[in-house]
C-alpha cells in the first residue's frame, strides 16, 4: 500500500509527538484545538454567508419558528 504525503506526514508527527515532554504535548494539543476551532468558525461563517446570499437571491423563504417546527414535525 502506498501512503499519501498527508498520511506520511501525520505518521511522522505522531511519532515525533511520542518523544515530547508533557508540557510540549499540552502546548501541541492547545495549538491544534485552537486551529480546529478557527477552522470550524470559518466554515460556519462561510455557510452563513451562503445562506444569506441564497436568501437575497430568493431561494429561501421566511417562516416563523412555529411554522418551521410544524413543517419539521410532519416531515416536509
CB 63 within 8 A of CB 71: yes
C-alpha cell at 28: 501541541
**pTM value?**
0.65
- 1-49 residue pLDDT tens: 566 766 678 888 899 999 999 999 999 999 999 999 999 999 999 999 9
Direct distance between the N- and C-terminal alpha carbons of the chain, in angstroms, rounded to an integer: 46
Predicted pLDDT at 75 = 72
Amino acid at each position: 500500500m502506498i501512503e499519501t504525503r498527508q498520511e506520511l506526514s501525520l505518521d511522522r508527527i505522531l511519532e515525533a509527538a511520542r518523544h515530547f515532554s508533557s508540557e510540549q504535548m499540552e502546548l501541541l494539543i492547545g495549538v491544534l484545538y485552537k486551529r480546529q476551532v478557527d477552522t470550524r468558525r470559518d466554515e460556519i461563517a462561510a455557510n452563513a454567508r451562503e445562506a444569506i446570499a441564497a436568501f437575497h437571491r430568493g431561494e429561501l423563504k421566511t417562516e416563523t419558528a412555529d411554522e418551521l417546527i410544524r413543517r419539521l414535525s410532519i416531515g416536509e
